[in-house]
Amino acid sequence: MLTPLFWLGRRLAFIALAFLGAGAALLIYSSVGQAGLVDGDNMGWYTYTGGDCDEGGRSDPINIVFYQGATSPDIDYYLSYEDGWGNHGGETQYFKTYGNCYEMDGMKASGTWQTNRYHGRYHRGLNAGGNIAIETPWLDYSIANAHYEIYVFGDGCGVSGNHVVPENGFNQGRENVVWDWTEEGEPDHFFASYGDWHNTARIRQCNGDDAWSNGQVAFIRVATGNVEGMSPSPSPANLWVCYNSPGHACNFWQGEGLRFVIQRLRNQSGIGLGGYYFRTYYASSSLVVDVNNSSFLGSTGRSVNCSEQVYSGSTRYTCSSTGNQQGPLWDGDIASLSVTPNSSTFYVGNPDHRPAKDNGTAFSLVNNYCQAKGVDGVPLPGSDGVYTPVCDDASVAVRLLEGDVNLDCRVNVVDNQAMTWRYGASLGLSLYSEWYDLEPVDPDGDIDIKDVQFVFGRGWSTCRYPIPCDQSGLPCSRQASAGGGLREEPEAGLLQGGTNVVIDPPSRNIPAVGQQFTVDLQVSNVTNPGGLGGYQFTLQFDPNIVSYVGVSDGSFLGSTGSEVVCQSPSTDVGMVSFVCNTPGSESQRPSGSGQLARATFQTVGEGLSPLDLSDVILVDPPGEEYIATGVADGSVSVGDGQGGPVGGIAEYPELESKMAATTPGSSAAVSTALAGSAAGGVMLFAAGGRYARRRRRAG
């Protein structure tokens, strides 16, 4: 164990975790015994860069097991609450469990990718069938990788090299977690021991160095008491209404579209459990509930048989076991309930449940007639001879993310465009719907500037990091910043014959420090019916080479005479995000090709900086359809010319003819009609919150 002196100066530490865990909490409690987490045979020894978990893509060694109260939301919560770690940038990686490959649940870091930082990834514990694993003795468990990485300026990447003093990056990240969680005045978590998993392979880093772990895995018991608000906590857990949209899948591990509730048995009788029974009641018009068995009852080797009967508004679940072995003597999680919103009640357009301010309805999950028996069929001591005297309940709050009018758990250009398309509509007109009449809370019969600003002011909000933050059900002081709201969407590359957005020129050289320069974002081949209604993008760069000066709408979006409404740019270290929309339904929107936006930078140091595009979204005028879009990045070199020559759009031969055939019209005069002014110009709306999204890199 390293001494506290070793960790002085490390308080801005971040860990990148990679877990496998389960659940929330409903009924009856938990403990520890013996199970299959002895090494990586079942869970894999490493993370992987590819979705097939091929050994050629092996990346980071697993070096932490969290257990007992270690669901992904639990760990994410404690990282934010205990240490203030809020950055979610990094490369998507995968975990191998029982030979199957699963995408990580998330990651956290102590800073952005352009800094030296702690970084890691996490994912939930799954069994061989791909279901949530509740293993004895580990219960709600997760496996994780934590490492320390150094930003290499010339290579533009983070490395966990063994040259890091005093230890290599993998060991250093693991020990930092052990110290922060268990030895720095944190009595709630418990460091149990180290295990040797022998995952000591040398891992080639993005700068060519090798790094490797000593193969030690730290076992940390996470504080009991469920942070998601399940029973016995009086606060309901959020169950967000979420439906998949192009480029974004709802993350049910974070309560997006699904919430797990754990039936937990407390057995203090000293007699082994042989079987159990419970019946849970719920509002079936609003919730859909399914029961998933755990491995707890059969953890001693007994054969288990379970049955479920579903009624209108309740489900009854019975499990029995046979065999010569003793039943489990300890507390344990006997089953999980998967709870989803009923899509016949919660759907886009239902005026009874709108994404307005402070929306949400709490629903109880009521347990009745709980029963636990020993292997001889006799009720366990402490019951009344038939049913257990304590049979706790739980509750969930079904919520819609404020301003999320298409219910995909994020507020972005699509929601903005859906609002601005309907701007000015009032009761009796075909474009009016109470669904979009969000401000005040009770519909006032028109879609005006208050409704539009309600959505714009929540730009970049997600269910995981909502704006305002108190939508989460936790105090704002315990929330990660909205800037951590990473959305890892695939980066498409160019689409042959399709719509593309590229940096123009794609590469250039600026001879000296202190000079300003501009780059354009060019769009080509917009062919969808109705044209382009709005766009958003994030542009990332090396802040040690260039600094951001400004960004503005280009000549294309307003070229047909439609008004253009742009949010104030959202900036963070090394990145800027920008979104523009066109309000109203009267005017024609542009098709074809042209200048989408222009960004201005100033050189501040010599070297090569990427100009990377991410989170690029183009949407149709009604805000109902995504336009499939390819992207191509750029770069700029300052000084001796590490970048290429100034190339312009000609470096993309497949786009050159399309761009040449289009002569963008001059910037149309636009008015600030939404604000009730006749002045010309592009409107800027200040949007609440910031957005941090980084391009995938090693580390």
Provide the pLDDT for residue 666. Answer: 28
Provide the pLDDT for residue 344. Answer: 95
Provide the pLDDT for residue 342. Answer: 96
- Rounded distance between C-alpha atoms, residue 534 and residue 550, angstroms: 19
Across 64-68, 131-135, 398-402, least confident range: 131-135
- Rounded distance between C-alpha atoms, residue 669 and residue 348, angstroms: 35
Provide the pLDDT for residue 87. Answer: 76
Structure-model confidence comparison of residues 109 and 72, the more confident one: 109
Contact 441, 357 (CB under 8 A): yes
Looking at mean pLDDT, say which of 64-73, 320-329, 357-366, 462-471 comes out highest.
320-329
Provide the pLDDT for residue 698. Answer: 31
- pLDDT band at residue 546 using 50, 70 and 90 as cut-offs: very high
- Rounded distance between C-alpha atoms, residue 451 and residue 447, angstroms: 6
Alpha-carbon Rg for the chain in angstroms: 27
DSSP class of residue 621 equals T
Provide the pLDDT for residue 657. Answer: 44
pLDDT > 50? residue 135: yes
- Would you list the domain boundaries of the chain? 4-221, 237-399, 406-699
- Rounded distance between C-alpha atoms, residue 659 and residue 664, angstroms: 9
Over residues 637-648, the mean pLDDT reads 56
pLDDT > 90? residue 542: yes
Provide the pLDDT for residue 346. Answer: 96
Across 47-51, 88-92, 434-438, 548-552, least confident range: 88-92
- Rounded distance between C-alpha atoms, residue 690 and residue 572, angstroms: 8
Over residues 456-474, the mean pLDDT reads 79
pLDDT, one tens digit per residue, over 624-636 is 888 888 999 999 9
Contact 145, 47 (CB under 8 A): yes
- pLDDT band at residue 472 using 50, 70 and 90 as cut-offs: low
pLDDT > 80? residue 14: no
Provide the pLDDT for residue 524. Answer: 95
Q: Which residues pair with 32 in a beta bridge?
A: none
Over residues 409-427, the mean pLDDT reads 93
- Rounded distance between C-alpha atoms, residue 228 and residue 222, angstroms: 14
Provide the pLDDT for residue 77. Answer: 67
Provide the pLDDT for residue 369. Answer: 74
Two tokens at 654? 């497949």
Provide the pLDDT for residue 390. Answer: 63
Provide the pLDDT for residue 437. Answer: 96
Over residues 183-203, the mean pLDDT reads 77
Helix (H) or strand (E) holding 456: helix 449-456
Over residues 135-144, the mean pLDDT reads 72
Structure-model confidence comparison of residues 187 and 444, the more confident one: 444
Q: What's phi and psi for 123, nearest 5 deg?
A: -160, 160
pLDDT > 90? residue 30: no
Provide the pLDDT for residue 489. Answer: 40
Mean pLDDT of the chain: 76
User: What's the pTM value of the predicted model, to 2 decimals?
Assistant: 0.61
- pLDDT band at residue 315 using 50, 70 and 90 as cut-offs: very high
**CATH top class, domain 237-399:** mainly beta
pLDDT, one tens digit per residue, over 156-174 is 677 777 755 546 889 988 9
- pLDDT band at residue 654 using 50, 70 and 90 as cut-offs: very low
Domain pair 237-399 / 406-699, same fold = yes
Across 231-240, 341-350, 665-674, least confident range: 665-674
Provide the pLDDT for residue 605. Answer: 95
Two tokens at 196? 């040797």
Contacts within 8 Å (CB) and 24+ apart, 299-302: 299/33, 299/35, 299/135, 299/136, 299/328, 299/332, 300/272, 300/325, 300/326, 300/327, 300/328, 301/325, 302/274, 302/327, 302/375
pLDDT > 70? residue 693: no
Contact 624, 418 (CB under 8 A): yes
Over residues 345-370, the mean pLDDT reads 90
Across 279-288, 543-552, 650-659, least confident range: 650-659
Single-letter residue type at 258? L
Residue carrying the six token digits 């903005």: 416
Task: For strands 592-603 and 546-553, give the pairing.
Answer: antiparallel
Pick the CATH number of 406-699 from 2.60.40.680, 2.30.29.30, 3.30.360.10, 1.25.40.10: 2.60.40.680
**SS3 assignment, position 307:** strand
pLDDT > 90? residue 111: no
Over residues 267-283, the mean pLDDT reads 87
